[in-house]
Amino acid sequence: MILGYSLDIMKDNYPLQIGYWDRRKMLYGLGLGASAFLTPGLFAEALMEPTPRQTEGPFYPDEMPLDTDNDLLVIGDSLTPAVGEVTHLTGVIKNIKGDLVRNALVEIWQVGAKGVYLHTKDDREGRDENFQGYGRFLTDSKGRYYFRTVKPVTYPGRSPHIHVAVSIKGKRMLTSQCYIKGDKRNDKDFIYKRLGKTGQQLTLVNFSPIKESKAREFTANWEIIIGLTPED
């Protein structure tokens, strides 16, 4: 989706109204500076709408699992896979100019099939010891990433979601979350509701059954758009 002069992205992605000077700060944060105000048609011609930033949450792993690859269903050489609906999560990383981003570190983390995170402070019962809970992948020359994981499930206070972080050369460019498109529980999720219509559209992902899969697997594709400068 392309930005116009109205800068509706700020109105939709944040719960508070953003004034002119706050918008100007946002532009500098995206790496555009004063030229954004002086170049006619810059937004309409060049910039894509970025994936909205969302909270990292309290359960980014405080202790990394023994295995941190992009297959969250099997830990190391274990022969016992995680419980849950197998999902192949794919997509590309682009910047707001539309350029494909290679060698971007994509991290995901989520609860297991019974709604428990891989975190020492999540002491709820039901943690799947065979679920990696966290994975990372370096995008290829075409900006593509891939994870094999489980379809996200709900837990008290949240609708099903997957956390994601994108970093370049050790600098965090984006922290966000994606949600299952069509899941009615999204409407009650306090983080999702704060995104506004545009932000919601950019984070809703179709989890589609793979017809030929006897294991009833799902496929999901999410295009992630990052800014030009780090979050911090």
- How much is the pLDDT for 150? 98
Amino acid letter, residue 27: L
* Residue 232 falls inside a structural domain: no
Taking residues 191-208, report their average pLDDT.
97
- Given a contact cutoff of 8 angstroms between Cβ atoms, the answer to whether 55 and 109 are in contact is no
* Residue 58 falls inside a structural domain: yes
* Residue 219 falls inside a structural domain: yes
Strands 207-209, 218-221: pairing kind: antiparallel
Q: Identify whether residues 79 and 95 lie together within a single domain.
A: yes
Domain count along the chain: 2
DSSP string across 29-79: HTT-TTHHHHSTTHHHHHPBPPPPP----TTS-SS--S--SSBTTS-TT-S
* Residue 74 falls inside a structural domain: yes
Q: Identify whether residues 54 and 26 lie together within a single domain.
A: no
- Given a contact cutoff of 8 angstroms between Cβ atoms, the answer to whether 30 and 229 are in contact is yes
Q: Identify whether residues 11 and 61 lie together within a single domain.
A: no
- How much is the pLDDT for 232? 78
- How much is the pLDDT for 157? 94
Is the per-residue pLDDT at 22 higher than 70? no
* Residue 67 falls inside a structural domain: yes
Q: Identify whether residues 116 and 213 lie together within a single domain.
A: yes
Q: Which residue has the higher pLDDT, 125 or 38?
A: 125
Question: What CATH number should be reported for the domain holding residue 202?
Answer: 2.60.130.10
Q: Identify whether residues 15 and 53 lie together within a single domain.
A: no
Is the per-residue pLDDT at 6 higher than 80? no
Confidence of residue 14 (pLDDT cuts 50, 70, 90): very low
Strands 144-150, 134-138: pairing kind: unpaired
pLDDT tens-digit series, residues 47-105: 999 999 999 999 999 999 989 999 999 999 999 999 999 999 999 999 999 999 999 99
* Residue 231 falls inside a structural domain: no
Is the per-residue pLDDT at 41 higher than 80? no
Q: Is 0.85 surpassed by the pTM of this model?
A: no
Q: Identify whether residues 94 and 13 lie together within a single domain.
A: no
Q: Identify whether residues 11 and 94 lie together within a single domain.
A: no
pLDDT tens-digit series, residues 155-190: 999 999 999 999 999 999 999 999 999 999 999 999
Q: Identify whether residues 33 and 62 lie together within a single domain.
A: no
Q: Identify whether residues 84 and 42 lie together within a single domain.
A: no
* Residue 69 falls inside a structural domain: yes
Of 32, 47, 62, at which residue does a domain stop? 47
**Residues 27, 33: Cα–Cα separation, whole Å:** 6
- How much is the pLDDT for 39? 53
Backbone Cα Rg of the chain: 18
Of 28, 47, 66, at which residue does a domain stop? 47
**Residue 40 dihedral angles phi and psi, to the nearest 5°:** -60, 135
The residue with tokens 């991290």 is 107
DSSP symbol at 21: H
- Given a contact cutoff of 8 angstroms between Cβ atoms, the answer to whether 69 and 134 are in contact is no
pLDDT tens-digit series, residues 100-143: 999 999 999 999 999 999 999 999 999 999 999 999 999 999 99
Q: Identify whether residues 63 and 73 lie together within a single domain.
A: yes
Least-confidence region, from 11-15, 124-128, 203-207: 11-15
- Given a contact cutoff of 8 angstroms between Cβ atoms, the answer to whether 93 and 166 are in contact is yes
Q: Identify whether residues 32 and 60 lie together within a single domain.
A: no
- Stated as kind and residue range, the H or E segment containing 26 is helix 20-29
What residues make up the domain containing 57?
49-226
Q: Which residue has the higher pLDDT, 45 or 207?
A: 207
- How much is the pLDDT for 33? 54
Is the per-residue pLDDT at 8 higher than 60? no
DSSP string across 168-225: ETTEEEEEEEEEETT-GGGGG-HHHHTTHHHHHHHHEE-EEE-TT-TT--EEEE--EE
Q: Identify whether residues 103 and 42 lie together within a single domain.
A: no
